[in-house]
Chains A and B, each alone.
Chain A
């Protein structure tokens, strides 16, 4: 039962592996960005899960709330979410430029074009 009780950590592991698999296995650059997004989201879950205190409520500074969850991880992960959004934005902007220059967003086709150019 202890293993099942940690279901949020199982979700983290499944999401993380799914994201990493998409990153490695897919040639489409947009799909790679999606994989990266899933991968980063799993880290957010990991941090948030860490801050949960059994039976704790929301962190409000009040005498009526004796036990509360750790709010620090939420603050940290807000920063990490912003970083993740920025990474996605830069990545998508690069994909737009790559599409303009190469006319494709498939990594294997881009590689083929590059090696053709290189040989010529």
Chain B
């Protein structure tokens, strides 16, 4: 009975938790509701993931209205992964958020923070689960609007201007997506993704499809912060409350990348996107320039959050480059990197959050010899940093290895060389910070607060759960690879 309604529960649970938080208003109770809802959501997405693995595609007619009339939730092996990734990261980070929110957000506003968080989760899960093109836009706006609000909770006033800039850029991106969906509807007369995909081959010659394709490309590039449209990202990541940054870095851009995959591969089809429209001619230079330049820029950032933000843009470059290969191996590499980078970058931002919680800021210059005071936090930073670089036996190694071998398979060896070059830059920017935290003698002109000690347990435990998962992914590499390769096959095969 309940197993049939799982796709609806996935959205309904967080959506109900949000107004509940607003009604109750007690900070601690709201946090409990958020955690409880998140655990339920995680369990739901795990059940859906298992169901998709054993029985194949789930098609759920919302409210009992069948597909062309009603909205359909369409879950195959690709979005089952996204649901699991988003709910897992949100679950871990919301537990972690308790201490940071208590410290940096006004007590009277905690309930709004958790309500916005739940709405944002609703939006992100909704984008991942839905099989209706217009529904994607609606959920995209739900997640974005609550995300602007979450960013504006930052304790620094620069959070406000960062949030506003994100609002302008994000709204332009979402509007472009709306225009694209409109033209698609005009050309095919359908909003259901499966129907659009089946009618695209006949409508291909229409100019409306071409215009839709262009608008969607630009809109999704803004939303997923592909270089050079990443302008909103660095400030938003730096000034948002650190729990929000961790959540945003692991999920929001990844979900946009998923939408990009869905539109280019499932709906327009690989042949149209990469054969007819030469998408890789546009995207590949942007992706390569992104991961080389942004890794370089990251080296010169003194604020850890800003450094990791630029590194995120670089990682998105890897993912886009992997998509541009448009082969089974390339897509698998891209999807694996979506998973791995989501986990690793969230863990990194969480360790930076622990540092901010105790030290008060995240300037790399004044973290001298931090290892003595906060060994667990620094260890977490080092291990996830190694994952970011892509050292063997970490999760990052698997995705970089599969990306390089996929580009070799396609004969684009230059990409492989540039990926290695950008990994060298990653060694520099992670290594520089690690060197300061491990070895540099404490100086007198840059005093650290007295009585500096390890971060609270409620922050350390979620961080280490995430680290444990990334280590497990790194050691038993085949697990994620096979899941991602199923997803890639589902995307390349199109809708049945």
Contacts and interface: CB of A to CB of B under 8 A. Distances in A.
B167 A91 contact: yes
A46 B164 CA distance: 27
A50 B186 contact: yes
Given A39-B172, A43-B178, A46-B179, A94 B163 contact: yes
Contacts of B172: 20, 23, 36, 39
Of the listed residues A40, A79, A94, the one surrounded by the most CB atoms of chain B closer than 10 A to its CB is A94
A52 B134 CA distance: 19
B244 to A, nearest CB: 15
B138 to A, nearest CB: 6
B161 interface: yes
Interface string A29-72: 10010001001100100110010000000000000000000001
Residues of B in contact with A, size category: 20 to 34
Q: Is the interface of A mostly helix, strand, loop or mixed?
A: helix
Interface residues of A, number: 29
Contacts of B158: 114
Q: Is the interface of B mostly helix, strand, loop or mixed?
A: helix
Given A39-B175, A87-B171, A114-B161, A94 B138 contact: no
A110 B160 CA distance: 11
B336 interface: no
A11 interface: no
B176 to A, nearest CB: 9
B73 to A, nearest CB: 18
Given A40-B175, A50-B185, A32 B168 contact: yes
A43 to B, nearest CB: 6
Given A90-B145, A94-B160, 16 more contacts: A20-B172, A23-B172, A32-B168, A39-B172, A72-B191, A83-B137, A83-B141, A86-B141, A90-B149, A90-B167, A94-B148, A94-B152, A94-B167, A101-B157, A102-B157, A114-B158
Interface of A: 20, 23, 29, 32, 36, 39-40, 43, 46-47, 50, 72-73, 76, 79-80, 83, 86-87, 90-91, 94-95, 97-98, 101-102, 110, 114
21 contacts: A29-B164, A36-B168, A40-B171, A43-B178, A43-B179, A43-B182, A83-B138, A83-B141, A86-B145, A87-B167, A87-B171, A90-B145, A90-B167, A94-B152, A94-B160, A94-B164, A97-B152, A98-B160, A98-B164, A101-B160, A114-B158
